[in-house]
A and B are shown apart, each in its own frame.
Chain A
């Protein structure tokens, strides 16, 4: 269970205003909302990269901001994350990027590392890209390498920030289906932020909608699609006219 209580954060302006959120174990949770509504900041708070001004984040019964730096570092081994801008290490090849968590955290034999890297690259439709540098990849290819790196360690909790941004519709659907299948197989708890609602809502169990730093909706995917709330209805159905 991931549980957020009263999360408040400001930068130049208030970004999150008392967000409460519960994501049950084994749930694929879609976090949606207009741009600059605080979704990416919320993900970074969940993984402990940003400290909120108020509120608590409890993951598997542990308050992550009550941990020491070393404890939090150790705890993060249970979390995989895909960043909005991919955050690939540009001084490493594609293979080294994907292998990085395996080599650094799990000390796996090199044969097994290579095998898992090749398997991940196949899954994201980039076989043979091992020796390429991130600077030589297109935006969509970078995104797929990011997905491969986020999933290679098979963490029990995975956070995806825009996993399909910049991908064509076919690859995008493939990525969503892949992430869903892997989440089901591993029983992982997943929070996924995406603007591609048509595809996101085909894979989520539950959906939360952020608006101006607050969680204004939390329910099942069906409830989101059938919601009469004017904000949720307009956003989910992509209607130009409305309160948003």
Chain B
């Protein structure tokens, strides 16, 4: 009996590791199946246009204030972090390049994705989860409506489009914020900042680098939020768990894919 419990205890880490891999496989597999279903509707244009417009407004337009605040302050923070080095080496002319490089390739898409994940992804899961537990998804199916075409595809397009456009907007605003923070903190004139941006050290490739990431992050957020929403079970507590899972998996997915995409496209 004692020996049995010792063996059981010794095996617990392996059991936990196995459970982790099974759960991860379920999540990734479920998101993969969901992606396949979405693509099969997308290629047939089998999705609801009015739901798409509604979602673009709800996800995109209503996210503008939070994107504006985040982006402006992100630009300012970039300058505050760079300030000691810029002052020590007198590299005022490189401030535009430094802020632009970091913002366009990394910070802009990353922080915008995290903000959209928290605002749009979590809300998307909560809505879908509530529809599941109140049988609204079943009602759609009973009414001969495909929930993937009616609900999921418009939300998928809405999230990916929102994140892409928000990143473009956030990049521009972050650079604007950085330029004026540079003036206020380091006395770097906006024109000097602009020259640093356009001196040739930065190119369109750096802009596309960040925008490719925004599309990848958008796909992750959309898949995670739809998958956890549509598989919600267990009433109101289940909706809470699904939202929590969406936020965690989206954030983890964003960082993992950020590494992979950065590595892949250089």
Contacts and interface: CB of A to CB of B under 8 A. Distances in A.
A91 B58 CA distance: 13
Contacts of A74: 144
Nearest to A79: B142
Contacts of A44: 138
B135 interface: yes
B139 A101 contact: no
A123 B143 CA distance: 21
B135 A83 contact: yes
B141 to A, nearest CB: 6
Contact of B144 (A73, A87, A88, A91): A73
Interface string A90-104: 110000000011001
B230 to A, nearest CB: 14
Contacts of B130: 90
Question: How would you classify the secondary structure of chain B's contact residues: helix, strand, loop or mixed?
Answer: helix
A47 interface: yes
Given A81-B139, A83-B135, A83-B142, 17 more contacts: A44-B138, A49-B141, A49-B142, A73-B144, A76-B141, A77-B144, A81-B142, A83-B138, A87-B134, A87-B135, A88-B136, A89-B131, A89-B139, A90-B134, A90-B136, A91-B127, A105-B143
Contacts of A122: none
B145 interface: yes
B138 A87 contact: yes
A105 B136 CA distance: 17
Interface in B109-165: 127, 130-131, 134-136, 138-139, 141-146
A59 B260 CA distance: 52
Contacts of B142: 47, 49, 76, 79, 81, 83
Nearest to B149: A73
B24 to A, nearest CB: 25
B138 A100 contact: no
